[in-house]
Amino acid sequence: QVRLVESGGGFVQSGGSLRLSCAAPGFTLDNYAVGWFRQAPGKEREGVSCISSADGRTYYADPVKGRFTISRDNAKNTVYLQMDSLNAEDTAVYYCAVGPPIFGFRQWLIPDRYDAWGQGTQVTVSS
């Protein structure tokens, strides 16, 4: 069974940065796409970013384009989400998930397309 562990969340002021990590002890991430989602109180879970395995392509939701960067370090078996220029609207619990090596058009945004999820890490941005 895949176990995903997110870390790096916390409290930051508006305009600040955080880097989230997604690790998978005992499981090789580089054969799978890894997505980041977030869920704010009272809202649905939404896709934030994804990095495919087959071609290394990256995807970003419109609200985070130009501010967030997803990357993977296969040697460390970890996927990162660098989040810059944070604002209060980014406050949420952030989850990583693994899916097929490559997605079809905009399929990476659909939570049901992923096979395993982490427990989440809280990100709070003060305005």
24-48 pLDDT, tens digit per residue, is 999 899 889 999 999 999 999 999 9
- Please, are residues 116 and 33 in contact by the beta-carbon 8 Å criterion? no
pLDDT of 22 reads: 98
CA dihedral 57, 109, 36, 85 (to 10 degrees): 90
**Average pLDDT, integer, range 13-23:** 98
43-52, 53-62, 85-94: the lowest-pLDDT one: 53-62
67-71, 92-96, 101-105: the lowest-pLDDT one: 101-105
pLDDT of 76 reads: 95
The whole-angstrom separation of Cα 12 and Cα 17 is 7
Reported confidence tier of residue 59, pLDDT bands at 50, 70, 90 = very high
